[in-house]
Structure formats: structure tokens, C-alpha cells
Structure 1
Amino acid sequence: MTPPEAALDTRGTKPPAVLSCPQITTLRHRADFLRAARALRQGTQGMLVQARCRRDNDPTIRVGYTCSKKIGNAVTRNRAKRRLRSVAAEVLTEKARPGWDYVLVGRPGVTVNRDYTDLLGDLNYALRKLHAGQDQ
């Protein structure tokens, strides 16, 4: 049985439009984090952003988050990562390039206490600098 959304339209019209934003997934493997650490990086006041082009013809954007024990105890580290995830969800859907890996690294004493709009500006600035002069 064919699902209703996959059924052919008898009037000859086009199928419904598909969202054009690339899929964003989370980095899980240590090797991916290490590859990103060897590639491009851009520091800002609120975070460090590492980025690399995978060159594997997969349009998926992958993003990872890391906060060391220098940030503070577990509660503080988790708060910093939550803030980084929120900033990434807002900015990367618009500014990230398909086929790239990004790692957002929290900074001690800053990522947790910095104003949220400043964190948004930090990530926008970092992406602009990382992709300046790069081919699309």
C-alpha cells in the first residue's frame, strides 16, 4: 500500500516543496573532534570555533560541543553546552556550509556568563572569518 503523501497527483501538479535547509547532526566520535581540531579555528570572546570541510559530498552539517573541566563543575559545564547548543541551533541553520564539521569549545568563565546576544554575535563573527576566502 502506498502512503498518502507518496501517491501520485492525478492533476499533474508538482509534488510539495521540500525544505532546502541541510540536515544538522551531532558529532559523536572522538576521531571527528580530533580532525576538526587539526583544521581551521577561530577564537572569539565567548567560544572557540573549529571547522573543517569533509569533502565527502554529504550535505549534512555536523556540529560538536566540548567544555573542559576548566569551565567548572558538571552543572556549569552542562549549562555552557546547553548555551552553545542553543546558539548553534539559531546560527548554523542559516550560516553554516553543507559538508562541514563544526566544534564549539566553551571558554572558562565566559561562555556561561556572557550575554546570549553576544554569544550569537560571536558565532556569526567566527563563521564569517572561517569562511572568508573559502570556496562555496
Structure 2
Amino acid sequence: MAPPPQRLKCRAEFLRVAKSGRKAAMPGLVLQALPQAEPGPARIGFTVTKKVGNAVIRNRTRRRLKEAARLLLQTRPVGAVDLVLIGRDATRARPFLVLMDDFARALDKVGVA
């Protein structure tokens, strides 16, 4: 079993994934993925822009993304990849199982196994 993903925290890491990574837009989220140069655990970051709403709505959206990623990556581990999940306005209203399906389809689309 793969170790749990670590977190992307600094802006430079997010920008590197956005610049060089592959992107998959789904109705509930946007996924950016960039393979790491060295083997190691996956790293994941979450972001929600101010266009989505006020702080309460953005935090709720981010929590939904975190939980969907946690549950899906337990059953479908990935390794040596940086992932950035971007919340959309539709993320908070989307049924949770459909949101998890969006994340799984996005992983397939960017080629993360």
C-alpha cells in the first residue's frame, strides 16, 4: 500500500504544477498533475478562488475536495506525482459520490495510475 499523500504548501509548488503539468477540467473540479522527478509519495494541494464565494463557502468547498481525495486515494493509491485540485462554484452543490467520480475520471484523463 502506498503511503498517504503529503501536502503541497508553498505557492512555487502550485505554480510549477500549473505551468508544466497536465490539466483535466470536470464539472465539479479541475485537476492539475505533474509527475515528480524522483520516486516518493504523492503530494496534493487544494485551492479555491475568491470567485467561488466568501470564506465560509470556500472552506466548505475545500473540505469537500479534501475528503473526496482522501477516500479515493485510499482505494486507488498514486505515487510520485504532484496533484492540485481546484474547486469550482459547482463543487459545493455537486453530490459527493458524483464529485468523487469527477476526481477519478480526472485522474484517468491526466494519466495518473
If the TM-score is normalised by the length of the shorter chain, which range does it land in?
Answer: over 0.9
Gaps in structure 1 of 5+ consecutive residues = 1-19
What is the distance in 2 between the residues matched to 1:115 and 1:40?
A: 26
* Correspondence 1:55 to 2:37: yes
Post-superposition offset of 1:95: 2.9
Deviation track 1:68-118 (CA, whole Å, cap 9, x = no partner) reads 00010000000000000000001123334211000000012x011110011
- Assess if the C-alpha contact under 8 Å between 2:49 and 2:58 holds in 1: yes
Superposition map of 1:1-136 within 5 A: 20-38=1-19, 39-57=21-39, 59-108=40-89, 110-131=90-111
Larger RCO (CA within 8 A; separation ≥ 6): 2
Number of residue pairs the alignment of both structures matches: 112
Who wins on radius of gyration, i.e. which is larger?
1
Identity %: 36
RMSD in angstroms over aligned alpha carbons?
1.4
Structure with greater proportional helix content: 2
Query: What TM-score do the two structures reach when normalised by structure 1?
Result: 0.78
Query: What TM-score do the two structures reach when normalised by structure 2?
Result: 0.93
Gaps in structure 2 of 5+ consecutive residues = none
